[in-house]
Homo-oligomer: A and B are copies of this chain.
Amino acid sequence: MAETPTIRFGVIGCADIARKVSRAISLAPNAALYAVGSRSLDKARAFAAANGFPAAAKVHGSYEAVLDDPDVDAVYVPLPTSLHVRWAVLAAQKKKHVLLEKPVALHAAEFDEIVEACESNGVQLMDGTMWMHHPRTAKMRDFLSDSNRFGQLRSIHTHFTFAADADFLENDIRVKPDLDALGSLGDEGWYCLRAILWAANYELPKTVIASRNPELNKAGVILSCGASLHWEDGKVATFHCSFLTNLTMDITAVGTKGTLHVHDFIIPYEEKEASFYAATETGFDDLVSKWIPQPSKHIIKTDIPQEALMVTEFARLVADIKFNNSKPEKKWPTISRKTQLVLDAVKASIERGFEPVQIQE
């Protein structure tokens, strides 16, 4: 068997999340940390030193220099959302494959510019939603897709909150209108909406209605919000996200025959082992005093963490394009766009006084 081709990554920006993804690039068997760029050369140097970049790695004092490096195959873009369209489009124009943090854009039209640039330059685009790549997610998907064990999805609830500290609420890019203007909705709500769409097999809801009384900071950035989503066939979903309450990350998905529960869907409790609960045709004993059968716990182990599996999958697609002349995989930008579309609808509903907003593809 031929050696696994190695895809060389450039990281543009030294955000906190880039530390985790840099480690993931090191851990992925088909990827290598090759370059890092920051607006400050010192910052880039310190980042490379602290995050396992090899001694030979290129360290640049600008994002452009990374994009101009002919040996960089792909870039990871952890920049604030408001900078995504500029840098992802430029990366694509420079023929770099793009691994892009979420939310992918400030709104779907902006994301469409990124998609167009990637498509016309033949590069792969994928967002950084790590939990999609955990093997647990595939096992849960098997359960949801099983008409005998789960039946048809009818209701789903997701919850993602964490208690941001005072420094976060004052200084994090996610509370700044000029950086991550979508706030909690863009950060946490992204995961809630992705989980809902994932459970619904990426069928878009017809109508989205934001929950009343979202909490905003002084600059008008969302700190907590929620919504209900409604499909033509009667399926219903609700979600809630907040920067102001204890760490919680739930999916409850209920089908005609089964129920799925997971409480750590975005970041598993443990790095190398994750679980979920599945119930099928649960009922009661004769006096309705106990459950028969009870839900079962499923444990899934991984050798490398989900973010490294994400990098591995992205690098595999990139290698397929680079070495086998394959076309970019459209699945990933397609589900990114759907997530953004629903996110946009939640935002629109908030802005229109919690009126129902119809989703149009």
Contact = CB atoms under 8 A, between A and B. Distances in A.
Contact of A252 (B212, B250, B279, B284): B250
B269 A290 contact: yes
A162 B255 CA distance: 10
A271 interface: yes
Contact of A257 (B163, B213, B307): B163
Interface SS majority for chain A: strand
B259 A254 contact: no
A66 to B, nearest CB: 23
A267 B238 contact: no
A352 interface: no
A294 interface: yes
A154 interface: yes
A265 to B, nearest CB: 12
Copy total for this chain: 2
Nearest to A283: B247
Given A236-B240, A238-B226, A254 B248 contact: yes
Nearest to A256: B245
B263 A289 contact: no
Contacts of A209: 212
A277 interface: yes
A212 B356 contact: yes
Contacts of A289: 20, 267, 271, 305, 307
A211 to B, nearest CB: 6
B163 A287 contact: no
A148 interface: no
30 contacts: A151-B246, A155-B161, A155-B226, A157-B159, A157-B238, A161-B254, A209-B212, A211-B236, A212-B228, A212-B230, A212-B236, A213-B230, A213-B234, A226-B236, A228-B238, A238-B238, A238-B240, A244-B256, A245-B255, A246-B254, A246-B257, A246-B258, A246-B279, A246-B282, A248-B259, A250-B261, A264-B291, A267-B284, A267-B291, A289-B307
